[in-house]
Chain A
Amino acid sequence: MFSMYQNNGSNNYNINSVTDLENSAGALASYNQAITNNVSSLEYVMKAVQANWENENGQDLQSTIQNLNDAIAVLENEIQPLLKNYVETLYNIANETKSHQSASIF
């Protein structure tokens, strides 16, 4: 699991544009949803492929399928929660900056 930066009050940060920050948060949220959709499709297709090739022709597929399942696990268990956390944090920073602009923007 990745650690990510969150403002704990001891770090100063310099925000050029709060609007851009909010836009970035929205974009990341939509990309995260796109990953969810594509991963669901990928899992469905892989199951269908496996169902059609359970004979000797499909033996070579096992490592490929396993690699893809591993990648999906990383996406679902690490990347997606991180992006979700990232989006929430960005919105929090944006809101905090708006309410304390003199303290947050240098």
Chain B
Amino acid sequence: MKINVSEIMRLNGRLSNIETELASVFVKISNELTAISNNIKTSILIESNRNVIEKMENLSFTINHNLDKLIEFLTTQLNSYTVTNEEATASLEHLIEQITNVFDSSGTVIMSTKTETIMSGTTTVSEAAPSLADSIDISVYKDNPEMGFVVSTGHPVYELTDSERHFMYSLVAAEAINDYDDALAVSSVILNRADANNMTPEAIMTRKNQFEAYGGGSGPYLKYQNGSKEIPEAVKRAVDDALNGVRNCGYFSFNANSNTGYSDIQVVDGGNRFK
């Protein structure tokens, strides 16, 4: 059976709205009938209104009870399909990783051929432009596998608006302060996650509990965002280079040295950098 999950989610939300709106209307009608009873004082009308109110209360209960069951059913079904999708995504990511490893060993970067629009809006992944990547001076980045830095080019290119780019500068600056390698590593992590999840960099950066510097919208990135702290040129350069397809790690998690305060850094299995 083919399920349009987004349509069901929309319908589920609409059901909740209907439930709320109908319950509200019933209460308002009951209040109005009570007001009328107080305005026109006749025992017959008061009794009639009381009957109507009682009938509407019963109806309201019936509708709410059954709508709750319907909403619960849809929510259960949606959760089931969401889990299925997550499992499928994980399998797909694993498959891509395996294929990437094979192609990496022969020096071919398969992601460089990816061309698609991610979500709506202005952010896109386009086919990597070898000429652009080749023209970038990557000599400022240290290639040190033992420390987790392996500089490479030809990764997906992201085109951001000025405000999106400024937001990324601010977040990376708050995470990595002023270090080419750390700034490129944080940028790489953001874009690696964007690649893997088919999401925009902005969506990745603002996801809950992903980047401490964002902090739900009130983190230290704000000082860079609003200009009270100057964004270092090294950070701007690293972010720009990363958006043009340069990466220095393939990890999905990374602790910037300048952020943790560690004097020495090591990379362990799983890609997290720890003291």
With a cutoff of 8 Å between Cβ atoms, the chain A residues found around residue B114 in the complex are none
Contacts of B52 in A (CB 8 A): 2, 4, 79, 82
Whether B8 is near chain A, meaning CB under 8 Å from some CB there, is yes
Which B residue sits closest to A70, measured CB to CB?
B62
The smallest C-beta distance from A30 to any residue of chain B, in angstroms, reads 9
Which bracket fits the contact residues of A?
35 or more
A31 contacts B70, C-beta separation under 8 Å: no
* Contact, CB under 8 Å: A5 / B25: no
Q: At the interface, is chain A mostly helix, strand, loop or mixed?
A: helix
Q: Once the chains bind, are A52 and B32 in contact (CB under 8 Å)?
A: no
Known: A11-B44, A35-B25, A52-B4. A28 touches B32 (CB 8 A): yes
Q: Is A92 an interface residue (CB 8 A)?
A: no
Given contacts A49-B11, A79-B56, contact A67 B62 (CB under 8 A): yes
Set of chain A residues within 8 Å of B56, measured between Cβ atoms: 79
- Indicate if the CB atoms of A2 and B48 lie closer than 8 Å: yes
14 A–B pairs (Cβ distance < 8 Å), ordered by A: A2-B52, A5-B42, A13-B45, A21-B39, A21-B40, A24-B39, A38-B21, A41-B18, A49-B8, A64-B70, A67-B62, A74-B55, A74-B59, A79-B52
Given contacts A38-B25, A49-B70, A67-B62, 15 further A-B contacts (CB under 8 A): A5-B42, A16-B38, A21-B40, A38-B22, A41-B18, A42-B18, A45-B11, A48-B7, A52-B7, A57-B77, A64-B73, A74-B59, A79-B56, A79-B59, A82-B52
A residues sitting closer than 8 Å to B (CB atoms) are 2-5, 11-17, 20-21, 24, 27-28, 31, 34-35, 38, 41-42, 45-46, 48-49, 52-53, 55, 57, 60-61, 64-65, 67-68, 70-71, 74-75, 78-79, 82-83, 90, 93
Interface residues of B (CB under 8 A from A): 1, 3-4, 7-8, 11, 14-15, 18, 21-22, 25, 28-29, 32, 35-36, 38-42, 44-45, 48, 51-52, 55-56, 59, 62-63, 65-67, 69-70, 73-74, 77
